[in-house]
Structure 1
Amino acid sequence: MTAKPRGVAIFSGGSAANNLVDVFKEVTEGKNRPLSYVIPISDNGGSSSELIRVFGGPGRLVRLIPGNGEDPEKAAILAFFNHRLPKDSEAARHEWLDIVEARAPLWNNISSPKKELIRSFLNLLNLEIVKRARPSSVFNFSSASTGNMFLTGARLFSGSFESSIYLLSSICRVPDNVSVLPAINTSFTHHISAGLENGTVITGQNSISHPSVPTALEATSTETEDHDSIEDANLPGSLPTLRKQYISFSKSEEEELPCRIERLWYINPYGQEIRLNANSKVLDALAAAQCIIYSIGSLYTSIIPSLILRGVGDAVASPSIKYKILILNSTLDRETGPSTNPYTATDFIAAISRACSYSRGLVGPVAKDGFRKYVTHLIHLAGPGTPVVDKEELAGLGIECIRVYGRSSENGGLLMYDEKGLVQALEAVIGKGGLAGERSRRNTLEK
């Protein structure tokens, strides 16, 4: 009897990681390797923030669903779930009504049975939006994702975020070997805070990741009373900053943080630090993995929220996981600055190691010779704006570096990963088909 191949578990970032779905599909396709995406649920920016504010639970769109252009209906369904409403709130509201009433062109090429199934959950959500409308609290449809809206409607119906993801995966005919796993198994939202090296605390993912004045945990009694007068899904007395709308924000014009982020933790609605258990299905996926990949994305708000959960650090540190690969971001951002003290590749690895160590209940910094417990390989680009990689230092720590040649982005010349080159690099590490003898250590693709 042939042993079941060990899988690949991916700690997925935000929108940036969505661009690598086809890469991970190709690495596992035809090899029958289980492929698991672990997604954080602490997002409180964009349309997710409005769903969290009004409905008090995760509403993240599962954009990590492999698709293809060969099946017109599947292509139409994927386009439907990836669609976003207009930025103008009034235009967005009108388009939402057209979708709910099945008058929008988005429904073209979707069969009637699937259309009515999808529409039933959107109608349920729409009813809840109308029921909860108050003069002081009106739902803002601006830039809302139809996938987010469907997931929220399905969660409200079933009472389970996992069930809503399963339903979406079934409708989209996701392959049996692919699973999308929320880092925490919950129907409620969980928020994060970050502590800076100067002692400042910033609350909420959006405030950490995107331009804003650092928000302290303390809120004035007047602010709290004002928010408590609004009848909504939030617990009385919960932090006002967690109830604000964060529909519009900039990811390009970022105000730098005054110093580096020191650590990240989860908080309850009143701002107190809490320790949370990881979804048991995530731990099962890690236990069955031959390889884990830290994908590109915001380090502290997309990757680390999954790593600091109880059980994850021990699972990642297990020697049964042979390959622990960090795909290094091609640029630095607000979370990995400031420009006077930018993160190097070693700093990225140190942050991941600290997060996994925190998950294990270990206090204090991680010695550099312990980094290899959590990262064994680094895949990176080299060029203007990319983080500095000290290959000799990392080699001394037992971490192998693989450089891939990227391509310039369309807007400004920043380097981006080339899909073919990244596939070659990943297969150089884990081997084609998982066979130890099939390796190519040199990736010569350059564009």
Structure 2
Amino acid sequence: MNVVVCSGGTATNSLTPCFSNISTLKGHELTYILPISDNGGSTSEILRIVGGPAIGDIRSRIVRLLQDEQLVELFGHRLPDDKLQAKKEWNEIVEGSHPIWKNISVEVKEMCRSFIIHMQAELLKKIKHSNPFQFERASIGNFFLTGARLFLGSLDASIELMMRIGRCSPLVHVIPCINTNHTHHISALLTNGEMITGQSQISHPSKSLPEDNGIAHSAKFIHLLGSYDDHLKILLDGEEEEEEEEAEEEYANPIYILPELKNSQLHFDKLDESQNLPAPVHRILYINPYGEEIKPMGNPRAISKVKRADMVVYSIGSLMTSLLPILILGNLAEVILESNNTKKVLLINNKYDREVFGLDGLHYVQMIIDSMSRAIAGYRQSKGIYSENGSFEWQDFITDVIYLKNGEIKIDETIFKKHNIRCHQIASSDKMESEELEKVLNEIGLKN
């Protein structure tokens, strides 16, 4: 069956063998749709100096799919934590003298180096007018992808180049959820009216900054005035983007950007969950550099793959910052809704994280359904389509839920059965394993 997987980076990487086994090994297409809004880690330095979309999750997934082991090592390589050592090693890679090039053929080496050199030239141009680039922890794969995007003028083209160089299967596609050369940030509106700006600030704030650095405290008055959605129009009086062409007129490296988005997010610890959000997330939204809400369109290539899919999987990872940035794209949510014969499978995380702490399975699912319903309503309104009944059936968005018996997020199957959602329990492990998941997905694929 043709499979589309919506996910972020790290968590789903361990499940790639499962998705390959149920699709490409049987001669069918496998598509990964990934967000481009992660402004944390070494990606934050690229965004700060060069601009453009965040490509950390995309690079992470491609490296997992590459068949050329030498290029897996190259594109998966990170520079040292020490500032001086990192800069020295980067210069050696640019010059071609670093040991990492030793086992790579000359023709492939020079092809890869050309884009890395192009990235170095771009950095040299940019750092004259800003603070020096911080090379520690930097990913060589991120440098290659960014250099290729700048040279080719297309994020999609740079991804395809990296996959073809690394001998990925032509049946596997990695697609950014938005086809853009520009930066897209997200914000989280909390139920207490606070706004946290930036994906890294939402999920894993930098230790070098105060914990609430990303919170726009001016948003706190919202809950005193009325409904969140009504007063977001006051707080975030942004223009809606109706077409992909309009989105391309935005910013690559804007002159002005919100102060909280300028700070480096290089140093953070994804495992540090010692402090949860001040309040639950009400909704996730895209913003421009001024903090105004925007509504970009999903990548047309992603739309095309969803239309042809037999199964769409909402995979594990951060719900608010990895999955929802994909699903709140109005045209993408719309095409998922209209895919009546497609299995739509949600994988429930085995553990809580900072973003969803305290949510049970019901509210976990409701967050997805409410977010997609809101996105579709906004998309239809932008097209002049006004529906008298704005509510949708739950099974229009999710047909199946897979969860772990011993997972922290509890599922009450009786509630979901009332909404015609099938539940599948995995009892043999305390985390989502590729082999067990494969069995369940094959069973779901065979059902009418």
TM-score normalized with structure 1 length: 0.84
Report the CA distance shift for 1:187/1:234 in structure 2 as closer, same or farther (over 3 A). Answer: closer
Letter in 1 for 2:265: Y
The match for 1:421 is: 436
1:250 lines up with 2:265 in the alignment: no
| Cα deviation digits, residues 14-54 of structure 1 (max 9, x gap) | 21111111111111133222111101101100111111111
Matches of 1:173 and 1:102 in 2, distance apart? Answer: 22
CA RMSD of aligned residues (A): 2.3
Report the CA distance shift for 1:367/1:351 in structure 2 as closer, same or farther (over 3 A). Answer: farther
Letter in 2 for 1:65: I
Does the Cα contact within 8 Å between 1:59 and 1:148 map onto a contact in 2?
Answer: no
Matches of 1:15 and 1:335 in 2, distance apart? Answer: 16
The match for 1:260 is: 280
Matches of 2:270 and 2:195 in 1, distance apart? Answer: 21
Does the Cα contact within 8 Å between 1:313 and 1:358 map onto a contact in 2?
Answer: no
Matches of 1:250 and 1:234 in 2, distance apart? Answer: 26
Letter in 2 for 1:275: K
1:388 lines up with 2:399 in the alignment: no
Instruction: Please report how far the alpha carbon of residue 369 of structure 1 lies from its aligned counterpart in structure 2 after TM superposition.
Output: 7.5
Instruction: Please report how far the alpha carbon of residue 279 of structure 1 lies from its aligned counterpart in structure 2 after TM superposition.
Output: 0.8
Instruction: Please report how far the alpha carbon of residue 313 of structure 1 lies from its aligned counterpart in structure 2 after TM superposition.
Output: 1.5
Letter in 2 for 1:396: K
The match for 2:158 is: 164
Structure with higher helix content: 2
Letter in 2 for 1:40: P
Instruction: Please report how far the alpha carbon of residue 89 of structure 1 lies from its aligned counterpart in structure 2 after TM superposition.
Output: 2.2
The answer for unaligned runs of 5 or more in structure 2 is 206-210, 219-250, 382-388
Instruction: Please report how far the alpha carbon of residue 278 of structure 1 lies from its aligned counterpart in structure 2 after TM superposition.
Output: 0.8
1:372 lines up with 2:372 in the alignment: no
How do 1:180-191 and structure 2 match up within 5 A?
Answer: 180-191=174-185
The match for 1:16 is: 11
The answer for unaligned runs of 5 or more in structure 1 is 1-5, 220-231, 408-414, 438-447
Matches of 1:291 and 1:114 in 2, distance apart? Answer: 36
How do 1:40-439 and structure 2 match up within 5 A?
Answer: 40-61=35-56, 62-65=59-62, 74-134=68-128, 136-211=130-205, 212-213=211-212, 215-217=214-216, 234-254=253-273, 255-337=275-357, 342-361=358-377, 370-383=393-406, 386-407=408-429, 415-431=430-446
Report the CA distance shift for 1:192/1:47 in structure 2 as closer, same or farther (over 3 A). Answer: same
3-state SS, counterpart of residue 429 of structure 1: helix
Instruction: Please report how far the alpha carbon of residue 67 of structure 1 lies from its aligned counterpart in structure 2 after TM superposition.
Output: 6.0
Matches of 1:396 and 1:326 in 2, distance apart? Answer: 17
| Cα deviation digits, residues 357-392 of structure 1 (max 9, x gap) | 1221259xx999722111111111122x52011011
Instruction: Please report how far the alpha carbon of residue 83 of structure 1 lies from its aligned counterpart in structure 2 after TM superposition.
Output: 1.5
| Cα deviation digits, residues 329-367 of structure 1 (max 9, x gap) | 110101102xxxx1112222111111211221259xx99
Matches of 2:215 and 2:174 in 1, distance apart? Answer: 33
**Structure of higher RCO (CA pairs closer than 8 Å, 6+ residues apart):** 2
Does the Cα contact within 8 Å between 2:340 and 2:396 map onto a contact in 1?
Answer: no
Letter in 2 for 1:241: E
Does the Cα contact within 8 Å between 1:202 and 1:208 map onto a contact in 2?
Answer: yes
| Cα deviation digits, residues 162-217 of structure 1 (max 9, x gap) | 11111101101111111111111100110111100000001000111114315344
Instruction: Please report how far the alpha carbon of residue 59 of structure 1 lies from its aligned counterpart in structure 2 after TM superposition.
Output: 4.2
Does the Cα contact within 8 Å between 1:77 and 1:172 map onto a contact in 2?
Answer: yes
Matches of 1:368 and 1:418 in 2, distance apart? Answer: 35
Count of aligned positions: 399
Instruction: Please report how far the alpha carbon of residue 125 of structure 1 lies from its aligned counterpart in structure 2 after TM superposition.
Output: 0.7
3-state SS, counterpart of residue 379 of structure 1: strand
Report the CA distance shift for 1:390/1:288 in structure 2 as closer, same or farther (over 3 A). Answer: same
Q: Percent identity?
A: 36
TM-score normalized with structure 2 length: 0.84
